[in-house]
Amino acid sequence: MKTELDTGKWVQQHGDYLFSLAKYKLGDEELAKDLLQETFFAAIKAKDSFRGESNERTWLVRILNNKIIDYYRSRKNEIPMSAYLAATAGSFNDHYFDATEYGHAKASAFPQITGMSSDDGINQGELKKVLDYCVGKLPATLSHVFLMKHVFEEKTDSICKHFNITSSNYWVIMHRAKLLLRTCLSKNWLA
Amino acid sequence: MKNTIYSKLKFIQYNCIEAQRLAIKRQETKLLPSEYMRLKVHMAGCSVCREFEKFSALVNKAMHTRLHSMNSNATATLEDNYKKDLQQKIDDFLNHDNK
């Protein structure tokens, strides 16, 4: 069992892979680069704890994931989520819904997207690309919750605890994220 | 009395905001019986929300597939110069740490 770390080849061997993971989980290239560097530094500091139980890459991924979770945690109090949701509710709902009376959807805000409502759409590389792009375009406040759900696959109640939000806040956030994704996809998806 | 039921029904039929939230909620967890009823009544008459529900399910599925296809392959690459710099920083950090 290999218990020595090969630090001199870290970037060459794991750089792109860790960067891809970080970029995907954070939705932000610059941030991904920062956390990648922090991950390598943290790994060097913790190098004595590497005993070769897992391979080098698995070990680095674990450190990276902790860095990403720490980042989410540090962000959670920056903007009080419920205040943000309340402040933006009016303009948001006005765009998609006739919110004055019942909240009926405005047909103009829900354009038809052809060729994507079927299951085989998922297998098309193009959809993944467009979806990635659109997830990256979500406002940070929404994307952190969305990514926590769909990239870290955390349970809803632990996400609520984590961001200190109510479950009804959570459903509002997911709804908004999906409305924005739908608009973005309808603009960028060419069936 | 009749009026109240009628206005409640109308509220359910026209309230796409609530219906879409319930549709998303239902894809993750069980709805309360009253929520389920409201969703069913709304969906029966609203094609926009039916389509939105499908879209939401598609996003869930695509994100899941996306995540699990990532597990072995790098999908983004760093520029060579950036890599060289980063490796240099790592080497420096290591030397500094060893002193």
Least confident span in A62-66, A166-170, B49-53, B92-96: B92-96
The count of structural domains within chain A is: 2
Put simply, whether A136 touches B (Cβ < 8 Å) is: no
Of the pLDDT bands very low, low, confident and very high (cuts 50, 70, 90), residue A156 is very high
How close B41 comes to chain A (CA, Å)?
14
| Nearest-5° Cα angle at A25, A5 to A84 | 140
Choose from A93-102, A156-165, B65-74 the range with maximum mean pLDDT: A156-165
Structural domain includes residue A1: no
* Residues B21, A171: C-beta atoms closer than 8 Å: yes
Query: Is A184 within a domain?
Result: yes
A39 and A127 housed in the same domain: no
pTM > 0.80: yes or no: no
Which of A16, A42, A75 finishes a domain? A75
Instruction: Determine the pLDDT at residue A1.
Output: 44
The per-residue pLDDT for B34 is 95
Residue type, A121: G
State how far the Cα of A156 lies from the Cα of B70, in Å rounded to an integer. Answer: 23
> Coil, helix or strand for A79?
coil
pLDDT at B56: 95
Burial of A11 (0-12, 13-18, 19+ CB in 10 A): buried
Domain that residue A99 falls in: 81-188
A181 and B59 in contact by Cβ < 8 A? yes
Q: Which of residues 67-86 of B touch A (CB under 8 A)?
A: 67, 70, 73-78, 82-83, 86
- Put simply, whether B29 touches A (Cβ < 8 Å) is yes
A42: CATH: 1.10.1740.10
Structural domain contains residue A2: no
Judgement on whether residues A69 and A89 belong to the same structural domain of the protein: no
Specify whether A147 is located in the same domain as A127: yes
- CB contacts of A23 in chain B (<8 Å) are 76
Instruction: State the complex-level ipTM.
Output: 0.78
Do residues A69 and A110 share a domain? no
Ordered per-residue pLDDT tens for chain B, 99 residues: 557 888 888 888 889 999 999 999 999 999 999 999 999 999 999 999 999 999 999 999 888 887 777 666 667 889 999 999 999 999 998 888 665
Answer whether A156 sits within 8 Å of B11, measured CB to CB.
Answer: no
Lowest mean pLDDT among A10-14, A45-49, A69-73, B80-84: A69-73
- Which stretch of DSSP H or E encloses residue A97? strand A97-98
Q: Is A94 found in the same domain as A33?
A: no
